[in-house]
């Protein structure tokens, strides 16, 4: 196409129109705003890599239909995500995918069509032009990806109704100011929640988003199970399994509750008794605990004193079996091209080494620490090392790696958290976290 640029993401080539207006106020990086005829954000590269790996893992685990997987890249723009599914999964999986891309803009789909014609020999990609909220209902989907500008809330209801009996929903949200409580009006308006803005705010945001998805699913007699939840740069993203189950839908409240900051011994005890706090030690000062949705205490804590965030998802954020699929060997094998492919797609030979190295780096960044999280109990908490003080009287934070290793050695499998703020995931007793953090930082001096 005239003015098209040849690019590479993962192991998938793409033709995109050259950027038109570079807005200098936004500079470079994820927030860089250059407008193209079709939307494409390179900063979402990692999210698309994880989509490929998630689909691969669920095929491996036998969670997807035995026959054809009806998959919809719902707000697809150039269709790069769906194109990566069909290009990067092994042949025996990709031929089972009936991939569709929907977008409201004909010009976006025109780029998807051009890419398909040039690169997808013999593979089917069906293009759907129109408003996803109307078009999605025409089918029973097994996989839907929702990647909107800003908040996904307006799409959730029709999309969830459009699933077959079981399915996988992946949702991005770039309205992080709303989900993390820094824009209080939108937090309440869109998500019916209050969120304390601290270093855990993105973890709370993921949980607020999951609670909303769970409630909408419950309206349609469906229950959700989170498979993967990630905060990366400017966006939050959750992937959930959705199953038709009246009973599961009625039990939605089991996984929704509150997070209380600086809990009192009584609140800690309630949380421990409800099975929501694996760390025990109610008499010791701890950063937070979860409380069940209906526990009267949660309603006595005024939102104004900022000790409470929620309602939010208080269950697991990941499925450990699924996380095991996010390993380096698989990721590099599927998502990094070889020189033969680069040659075939028309990349300049002098650029091959650089392109492969760039792809490799991006792929490894996309899965960082995820596989480690599979080794800790699913009720493990996110403990941020910079926020251990004043609960542990430290001169400085311990290294997350050393703390996780010390806890694991002491018999409580723990890991460095896949979370941008330095921290660990652990279900160890608080007294042990306390003593080891102290020991590690004292022996440092
Ligand atoms: C953030 S972009 C999607 C990016 C894409 N998923 C990717 O990975 O490159 C959002 C897209 O949704 C499209 N869109 C916005 N509202 C829509 C609607 N109601 N129905 C279908 N597409 C819509 C826009 O045209 C835009 O291409």
Please, is 76 exposed, middle or buried when counting C-beta atoms within 10 Å of its C-beta (0-12, 13-18, 19+)? buried
When pLDDT is cut at 50, 70 and 90, the band that residue 31 belongs to is very low
User: 223, 249 in Cβ contact below 8 A?
Assistant: yes
Up-side HSE of residue 134: CA atoms within 13 Å toward CB? Answer: 6
* CA–CA dist 222, 148 (Å, integer): 23
Q: What is the mean pLDDT of residues 53-68?
A: 97
pLDDT of residue 123: 82
105 lines ligand 1 (CB under 6 A): yes
When pLDDT is cut at 50, 70 and 90, the band that residue 301 belongs to is low
* CA–CA dist 142, 4 (Å, integer): 33
- Dump pLDDT digits (tens) for 405-433: 999 999 999 999 999 999 999 999 999 99
Q: How many CB atoms lie within 10 A of CB 351?
A: 13
Residue of 52, 104, 131 to test ligand 1 pocket, by largest number of atoms within 8 Å of CB: 104
131 lines ligand 1 (CB under 6 A): yes
338 lines ligand 1 (CB under 6 A): no
Instruction: Evaluate if residue 445 carries a pLDDT over 70.
Output: no
134 lines ligand 1 (CB under 6 A): no
What three-state secondary structure class fits 24? helix
Nearest alpha carbon to residue 253 among 299, 221, 294, 205: 294
370 lines ligand 1 (CB under 6 A): no
52 lines ligand 1 (CB under 6 A): no
Task: Give the distance, in angstroms, between the CA of residue 254 and the centroid of all CA atoms in the same chain.
Answer: 22
pTM as predicted:
0.95
Please tell me the total number of residues recorded for the chain in this structure. Answer: 445
Q: Please identify which residue in the block is written with the tokens 């209902």.
A: 137
103 lines ligand 1 (CB under 6 A): yes
Q: What is the mean pLDDT of residues 300-323?
A: 86
All structural domains of the chain, each given as residue ranges with its CATH number in brackets, are: 1-374 (3.40.50.150), 381-445 (3.30.56.70)
Ligand 1, atom 11, residue with closest C-alpha = 75
pLDDT of residue 3: 76
């Amino acid at each position: 196409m005239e003015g098209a640029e040849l690019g590479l993401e993962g192991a998938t080539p793409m033709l995109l129109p050259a950027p038109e207006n570079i807005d200098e106020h936004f500079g470079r990086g994820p927030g860089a705003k250059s407008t193209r005829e079709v939307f494409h954000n390179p900063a979402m590269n990692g999210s698309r890599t994880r989509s490929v790996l998630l689909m691969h893992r669920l095929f491996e685990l036998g969670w997807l239909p035995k026959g054809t997987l009806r998959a919809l890249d719902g707000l697809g723009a150039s269709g790069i995500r769906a194109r990566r599914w069909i290009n990067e999964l092994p042949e025996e999986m990709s031929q089972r995918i009936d991939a569709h891309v929907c977008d409201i803009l004909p010009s976006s789909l025109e780029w998807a069509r051009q890419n398909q014609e040039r690169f997808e020999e013999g593979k089917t990609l069906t293009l759907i032009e129109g408003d996803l909220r109307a078009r999605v209902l025409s089918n029973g989907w097994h996989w839907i990806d929702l990647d909107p500008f800003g908040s996904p809330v307006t799409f959730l209801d029709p999309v969830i109704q459009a699933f077959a009996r079981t399915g996988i929903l992946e949702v991005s949200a770039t309205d992080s100011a709303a989900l993390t409580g820094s824009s209080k009006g939108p937090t309440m308006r869109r998500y019916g929640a209050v969120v304390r803005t601290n270093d855990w705010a993105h973890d709370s945001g993921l949980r607020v988003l999951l609670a909303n998805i769970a409630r909408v699913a419950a309206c349609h007699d469906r229950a959700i199970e989170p498979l993967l939840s990630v905060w990366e740069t400017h966006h939050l993203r959750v992937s959930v399994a959705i199953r038709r189950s009246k009973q599961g839908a009625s039990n939605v409240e089991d996984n929704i509750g509150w997070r209380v900051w600086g809990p009192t011994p009584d609140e800690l005890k309630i949380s421990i008794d409800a099975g929501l706090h694996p760390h025990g030690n109610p008499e010791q000062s701890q950063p937070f605990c979860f409380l069940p949705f209906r526990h009267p205490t949660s309603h006595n804590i005024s939102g104004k004193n900022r000790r409470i965030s929620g309602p939010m998802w208080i269950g697991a954020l990941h499925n450990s079996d699924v996380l095991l699929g996010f390993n380096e060997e698989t990721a590099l094998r599927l998502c990094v091209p070889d020189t033969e492919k680069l040659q075939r797609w028309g990349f300049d030979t002098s650029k091959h080494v650089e392109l492969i190295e760039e792809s490799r780096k991006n792929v490894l960044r996309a899965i960082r620490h995820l596989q480690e999280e599979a080794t800790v109990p699913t009720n493990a908490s996110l403990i941020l090392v910079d926020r251990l003080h004043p609960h542990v009287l430290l001169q400085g934070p311990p290294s997350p790696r050393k703390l996780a290793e010390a806890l694991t050695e002491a018999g409580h499998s723990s890991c460095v958290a896949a979370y941008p703020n330095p921290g660990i995931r652990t279900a160890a007793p608080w007294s042990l976290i306390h003593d080891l953090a102290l020991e590690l930082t004292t022996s440092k001096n």
